[in-house]
Amino acid sequence: MTVEIDIRVQREAFEPGAELTRFSLQNSSSGAVCTFTGQMRDFRGPDRATGEPITAMELDHYPGMAERQLAELAADAKSRWPLDDLCIIHRFGKLIPTEPIVFVATASAHRGDAFAAAEFLMDWLKTKAPFWKKETTAKSAEWVSEAAADVERAQRWAR
């Protein structure tokens, strides 16, 4: 089956529910649809009680390379699992808390492949796709540092 790859890098907000509905309807032969939404949290730090509230976020990106890198990750996912379809949406620009940042959807015959491919896409996207977050609090605006946990998670998929 041909895998249509829907990849969008956009400034505009999107609605994950509407994207899921559209994605499901266009994959009527798939028994499994898995989605992941990454949304902007409203604090930074180890937990909400001790963390600092974040009022806004600016997402920098590398136009051209971002699309290209996501397409490469999508093709890699396709080569690893029998997917009927997949979709990746990633925002850039200004965001406010609870706004979706990233959306990944995978469709396959059975859930195992859909779950695994969605997790792989997110893990690799976090360490390879050229996006950078800058968080604004009441006191300052700071670039987010790379998380060691993200690097470890991505390494699980190395081959």
Partner 1 sequence: MNILYFAWVREKVGAAEETVSPPPTVGTLGQLIDWLAQRSPRHAAAFADRKLIRAAIDQVHSQINASVAGAKEVAFFPPVTGG
- Taking CB under 8 A as the rule, does residue 102 contact partner 1? yes
- Taking CB under 8 A as the rule, does residue 134 contact partner 1? yes
Query: Tokens in use for 43?
Result: 């604090």
Query: In terms of C-beta density within 10 A (0-12 exposed, 13-18 middle, 19 or more buried), how is residue 108 classed?
Result: buried
Q: What is the dihedral of CA 77, 81, 87, 89, to 10 degrees?
A: -40
Contacting residue, 13, 111, 144, 155, with partner 1 by CB under 8 A = 144
- Taking CB under 8 A as the rule, does residue 37 contact partner 1? no
Give the residue with the Cβ less far from partner 1, 53 or 132. 132
Contacting residue, 101, 105, 116, 118, with partner 1 by CB under 8 A = 101
- Taking CB under 8 A as the rule, does residue 41 contact partner 1? no
CB of 42 to partner 1, least distance (A): 17
- Taking CB under 8 A as the rule, does residue 23 contact partner 1? no
Which span sits near partner 1 by CB under 8 A: 47-55, 60-68, 78-86, 110-118? 60-68
Between CA 46 and CA 52 the distance in angstroms is: 10
- Taking CB under 8 A as the rule, does residue 65 contact partner 1? yes
Q: What is the side-by-side strand order in the sheet with 93-95? A: 93-95, 56-61, 131-136, 141-143
Burial call 133-157: b when 16+ CB within 10 Å, e when fewer: bebebeeeeeeeeeeeeeeebbeeb
Binding site for partner 1 (CB under 8 A): 38, 59-62, 64-65, 68-69, 90, 101-102, 122, 125-134, 143-147
